[in-house]
Structure 1
């Protein structure tokens, strides 16, 4: 079994336009001084050990996965945790959304995740990352 990562790793659906846009959003708004995230595609071989470590099936595509040094978050919980790592106003937005009952947050997340391809489309390839972004990618 692989060790937990020392820095958080965000795993996304690599063909989902919404997911790729979310990564770009995070990269553009990271809070200075926050531990840098690594990124990877759920479909990539390098994600399989992290999914296994997290107790998720290797074909998991139900939503984002945030694998941290101490725990793994999925779905709405992962999205809120990501927001707390960003510059203002996003941590406050995360706190506000966190006031909603967890089943409500998760239901809303699942509805978007279920229809993400239809609403936002898919990509055959990811956009070309910068050299700095490539250093933060798994694999």
Structure 2
């Protein structure tokens, strides 16, 4: 897919998020706020490239229940992706990633998947995708 190739050619890791999910938008805002060096790019799953990346990594773009981080052409999902993002943010977030890694993956992923399945009911859903602040628009793909 042309869109997928364009994203993979980026030298920065890409986080694919649900642009209408309130929880996902809070996570995106957290990344923008704490990733002062601009390590990560962000792609809404509702966009062409975000959808292509989900599909390229075996996720259903119409009903995604997984967080996706694509780094160096490898897709990381669920809490493995969260751990990698937190570790790369450094400081106290790398400590949080270490603590999360102490929890067995099967348990942390089960909790994550339950939250993901119920995210709209628990946190809400927006009518439109998240729009970045104009000063941060360069971080977003699509």
- TM-score, length-normalised on structure 1? 0.86
SS in 2 for 1:57: coil
The question of 1:120 aligning with 2:96 is answered: no
Unaligned runs of 5+ in 2: none
User: C-alpha distance in 2, partners of 1:132/1:55?
Assistant: 33
Q: How many Å apart are 1:31 and its aligned residue?
A: 5.5
The question of 1:94 aligning with 2:97 is answered: yes
- Preserved contact between residue 42 and residue 139 of structure 2 (Cα < 8 Å): yes
Among 41, 47, 50, the residue aligned to 1:47: 50
The question of 1:18 aligning with 2:2 is answered: no
Unaligned runs of 5+ in 1: none
Moved more, 9-18 or 80-89: 80-89
Aligned length: 137
- TM-score, length-normalised on structure 2? 0.85
User: C-alpha distance in 1, partners of 2:25/2:16?
Assistant: 11
User: C-alpha distance in 2, partners of 1:120/1:85?
Assistant: 26
Q: How many Å apart are 1:17 and its aligned residue?
A: 0.1
User: C-alpha distance in 1, partners of 2:130/2:118?
Assistant: 22
SS in 2 for 1:10: strand
- Aligned-residue RMSD, C-alpha: 1.9
Look up the match of 1:74: 77
Among 116, 124, 134, the residue aligned to 2:137: 134
